[in-house]
A = this chain, B = another copy of it.
Amino acid sequence: MPAVVILGCGGVGRALLKQIAATKLTVAAVCDSKNALVAANGAFTAAQLSAIAEAKAAGKPLAVEGATVVPVTDSAGLAAVLKQCKEAAGGKCFVADCTASDATGPAMAEAGVAVALANKKPVTSSIDLYNKLALENPRNFRNESTVGAGLPVMAMLRRMVTSGDPISRVAGCFSGTLGFVMSGLEAGKKLSDVVAEAKSLGYTEPDPREDLSGMDVARKALIIARSMGWKLEMDDVKVEGMYPPEMGQDKMSVDEFMAALPSLDADMAGKAQAAAADGKVLRFAAVVADGKCLVGLQSVPKNTAMGALQGTDNIVEVISSCYPVSPLVIQGAGAGTETTASGVLADLLELADIHA
């Protein structure tokens, strides 16, 4: 019986715990940032999975009757747990990484397990780690939920790459938060007002600069470029954020930043108006083409799929040999715990099919 190990008990991990109970997969262990909970006989029951999710949602420690709690303090400790689960399962171990941790990637690589990632860290740190996880054995690697939540972006790119359809350009909007801001600018709102609105609706991180810096989009651009076989590092991605360096996290507090935002309104309104005068709209986009990854504001024609995008939806447009002019487009909700967990679950089921 193959073992599934779930790393992370935040929103996505807990949603996955509940979704997985309805499938043929069996969960052998669940880990949070402190402990691994290992099922006594190699498989939790659906009731146990539900109990674990509920306990964690209530802020309680990771525990359930009839399971062993193993403290996990570092990457080596996690690797040891994964190796143990893999051995107990006769060598077949599928790890769902729903954390935001740096430590899981090296542990998964060392344990030699198959992975389904929501966590972007393992695939955006060194190219060496990426090679170990993704390239050395593609049959052991899935990462749908690292880009566009559950939207089948990575699955589509994999199909195109493996079938030898040369991709020349991938462009997309991968931040629901920045999509909301762009729709607001398009409707004539001030940048400072629409960011404040997004913050009050909970669309931004507590510090909106986490979104406005564009770094999350940059990580997704890197993941896409690497999936096409490009040997790029994070430093190779050119990112132009939505605010100047003097308003950075090392220079002012969140409150000071929000107070300073109106100073950017006029410039941004000017850019939006210039785009509109040209039949275009502003989008905060990633463009992966010609060996380069560019992330930042773009003016795109209104009558394209990306130009017609509204609100928090994500979109990706791909130009390839088979789609030379009118791109292949996927769009939809690119965030949400259920959706992200669904993407991880679909990846796990593909791994299970491959290793059946």
Chain B residues with Cβ under 8 A from A338's Cβ? 321-322
Q: Does A342 contact B (CB under 8 A)?
A: yes
Q: Contacts A163-B345, A346-B162 given; indicate if A331 touches B305 (C-beta within 8 A).
A: yes
Give the shortest distance, in Å, between A335 (CB) and chain B (any CB): 11
Number of copies of this chain that the complex holds: 2
Q: Which of A295-324 contact B (CB under 8 A)?
A: 303, 305, 308, 310-311, 313, 321-323
Q: Does A356 contact B (CB under 8 A)?
A: yes
Q: Contacts A152-B156, A156-B152, A162-B346 given; indicate if A328 touches B332 (C-beta within 8 A).
A: yes
Which chain B residue shows the least CB distance to A344? Answer: B163
Interface string of A317-356 (1 = CB under 8 A from B): 0000111001111111100101100110110011001101
Interface string of A146-171 (1 = CB under 8 A from B): 00001110011001101111000000
How far apart sit A316 and B306, CA to CA, in the bound complex (Å)? 16
Contact (Cβ within 8 A) A329 B330: yes
How far apart sit A330 and B304, CA to CA, in the bound complex (Å)? 14
Which chain B residue shows the least CB distance to A158? Answer: B346
How far apart sit A150 and B164, CA to CA, in the bound complex (Å)? 13
How far apart sit A215 and B6, CA to CA, in the bound complex (Å)? 46
Q: Which of A256-293 contact B (CB under 8 A)?
A: none
Give the shortest distance, in Å, between A119 (CB) and chain B (any CB): 18
Q: Which of A22-62 contact B (CB under 8 A)?
A: 22-23
Q: Contacts A155-B155, A322-B338, A331-B329 given; indicate if A19 touches B308 (C-beta within 8 A).
A: no
Which chain B residue shows the least CB distance to A19? Answer: B164
Interface on A for B, CB 8 Å cutoff?
19, 22-23, 139, 150-152, 155-156, 159-160, 162-165, 303, 305, 308, 310-311, 313, 321-323, 326-333, 336, 338-339, 342-343, 345-346, 349-350, 353-354, 356
A-B contact pairs, 26 of them (CB 8 A): A19-B164, A23-B162, A23-B164, A139-B353, A139-B356, A150-B165, A150-B322, A151-B328, A152-B155, A155-B156, A160-B346, A162-B346, A162-B349, A163-B345, A164-B342, A164-B345, A165-B342, A303-B310, A308-B308, A322-B336, A322-B338, A322-B342, A326-B332, A328-B331, A329-B332, A354-B354
